């Protein structure tokens, strides 16, 4: 056996035929996660400005438990540790952004552990997850403990309002007059970071500029929200929908986690389609579902569920792929 290996090594050709990539641009997972952290920083700062120390507590706990879970899991399986690439830290922060600032510690810790295990590690770790990991943790928490996930119930001392609840039960005209600016600056109850609209827009544009995420998915998502939102706003009454439930389209963007979902959740690299046509379909589906769930669903904020649903269609959308150069379309 050894002898054979030696012979093979001796006759190895000088020019090796290998698979691409042949050159490396120097991008690493760690670098990408650093960009993600920078993009999340404005929203984190805004969250601390609005909610104070409780927000810091939730973010630190979620990120810490995520990192710890990944480290323990890799230790248990005897895999080489990839904790230091920062992906667990970013995942934990994304989950924390979806939680109310007053969430009890066990809720945050359970959610973070579920996010890492159920959302990512059971499927093979970073890059193998079929759904966006923070959304898996968020969905499990929302279904299991709806009271502890309710931003109003968890921030009783706050003077802010939850615009989504108000729009759902009292109609969009019940929102205070001229509250758009306050909403954009994050003056609303909801997930602690996911409602910091202006700060998230800043972070999202940074991600686009650094090409960490492709522009197709957020653009299609927002186009879907605005298109279907306008449709219901203009023609909702003729279609038999209560006009109080059909707010003007810009309110969809300013309330809840729409922008957060568009820039940070829907663009999760592993669970979104890879081809351009698929990206547009995926974004449009998620955007339209957001509007539909907000108008007709039982959950006030439709965006996270919309992204989860769209991610389930991603393997199908990936079948729409470009023709290989010079190749023929197979029948």
Cα end-to-end distance, the chain, whole Å: 46
DSSP of 210-276, one letter per residue?
TTSS-SHHHHHHHHHHHHHHHHHHHHTTTTT--GGG---HHHHHHSTTHHHIIIIITT-TTTS-SSH
Residue 186 vs 304, nearer CB to other proteins: 304
The neighbour count for residue 126, using CB atoms within 10 Å, is 19
15 or 325, CB closer to other proteins? 325
Cβ proximity to other proteins: between 72 and 227 the closer is 72
- The 80-109 contact track toward other proteins, x by CB under 8 A, reads --------------------------x---
Q: Report d(CA 141, CA 108) in Å as an integer.
A: 9
Residue 145 sits in the site that holds other proteins (CB under 8 A): yes
Least Cβ distance, residue 146 to other proteins (angstroms): 9
DSSP state of 328: -
Residues 201/51, Cβ–Cβ less than 8 Å: no
Q: Which is nearer to other proteins, 35 or 268 (CB)?
A: 268
User: In 3D, which of 148, 160, 288, 177 has the Cα closest to residue 232?
Assistant: 288
Long-range Cβ contacts of 304-308 (<8 Å, 24+ apart): 304/98, 304/135, 304/138, 304/139, 304/257, 304/261, 304/265, 305/139, 306/261, 307/132, 307/135, 307/261, 307/265, 307/266, 308/131, 308/132, 308/135, 308/136, 308/139
Q: Spell out, one character per residue from 106 to 135, where the chain touches other proteins: x when CB under 8 A holds, - when not.
A: x---x-------x---xxx---x-x-----
Give yes or no for residue 296 binding other proteins (CB under 8 A): no
Judged by beta carbon, residue 106 or residue 169, the one nearer other proteins is: 106
Among positions 37, 140, 219, 277, the unique one binding other proteins when judged by CB under 8 A: 140
Pairwise CA distance, residues 236 & 233, whole Å: 6
The tokens for 280 are 């547009």
> Quick one: which segment of 92-100, 143-151, 236-244, 258-266 binds other proteins (CB under 8 A)?
143-151
Measured from the CB atom, the residue of 27 and 274 that comes closer to other proteins is 274
Smallest distance, other proteins to C-beta of residue 140, A: 5
* Binder of other proteins out of 9, 17, 143, 156 (CB under 8 A): 143
Q: How far is the CB of 144 from other proteins (least distance, A)?
A: 4
299 sits near other proteins (criterion: CB under 8 A):
no
Task: Write down the least CB distance from residue 128 to other proteins, Å.
Answer: 7
Nearer residue to other proteins within complex by CB, 270 or 288: 270
Count of residues that bind other proteins according to CB under 8 A: 14
Residue nearer to other proteins on the CB measure, 27 or 312: 312
Record the tokens describing residue 127, joined without a space: 């890059």
Which residues, 312 to 331, sit near other proteins by CB under 8 A?
Answer: 315
130 vs 187, beta carbon nearer other proteins: 130
Shortest Å, Cβ 159 to other proteins: 28
- Least Å from the CB of residue 298 to other proteins: 14
Q: Min. distance of Cβ 46 from other proteins in angstroms? A: 30
CA distance 161 to 254: 13
CA 79 to chain CA centroid, nearest Å: 27
Report residue 199 CA to chain centroid gap.
15
**Distance in angstroms (rounded) separating the CA atoms of residues 184 and 198:** 5
Binding positions for other proteins, rule: CB under 8 A: 106, 110, 118, 122-124, 128, 130, 140, 143-145, 148, 315
């Amino acid at each position: 056996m050894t002898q054979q290996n030696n012979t093979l090594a001796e006759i190895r050709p000088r020019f090796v035929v290998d698979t691409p990539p042949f050159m490396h641009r120097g991008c690493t997972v760690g670098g990408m996660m650093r960009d993600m952290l920078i993009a999340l920083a404005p929203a984190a700062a805004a969250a601390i400005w609005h909610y104070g120390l409780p927000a810091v507590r939730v973010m630190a706990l979620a990120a810490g438990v995520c990192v710890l879970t990944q480290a323990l899991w890799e230790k248990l399986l005897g895999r080489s540790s990839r904790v230091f690439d920062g992906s667990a830290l970013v995942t934990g922060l994304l989950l924390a952004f979806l939680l109310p600032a007053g969430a009890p510690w066990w809720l945050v810790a359970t959610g973070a552990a579920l996010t890492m295990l159920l959302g990512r590690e059971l499927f093979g770790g970073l890059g193998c997850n079929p759904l966006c990991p923070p959304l898996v943790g968020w969905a499990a928490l929302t279904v299991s403990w709806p009271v502890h996930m309710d931003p109003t119930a968890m921030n009783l001392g706050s003077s802010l309002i939850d615009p989504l609840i108000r729009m759902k039960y009292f109609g969009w005209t019940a929102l205070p007059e001229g509250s758009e600016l306050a909403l954009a600056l994050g003056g609303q109850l909801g997930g602690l970071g996911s409602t910091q609209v202006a700060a998230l827009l800043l972070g999202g544009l940074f991600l686009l500029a650094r090409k960490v995420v492709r522009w197709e998915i957020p653009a299609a998502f927002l186009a879907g929200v605005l298109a279907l939102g306008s449709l219901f706003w203009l023609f909702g009454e003729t279609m038999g929908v209560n006009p109080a439930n059909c707010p003007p389209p810009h309110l969809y963007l300013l309330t809840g986690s729409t922008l957060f979902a568009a820039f940070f959740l829907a663009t999760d690299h592993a669970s979104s389609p890879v081809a351009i046509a698929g990206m547009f379909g995926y974004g449009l589906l998620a955007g339209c579902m957001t509007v539909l769930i907000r108008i007709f669903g039982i959950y006030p904020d439709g965006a996270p569920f919309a992204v989860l649903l769209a991610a389930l269609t991603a393997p199908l959308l990936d079948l729409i792929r470009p023709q290989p150069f010079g190749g023929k379309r197979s029948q």
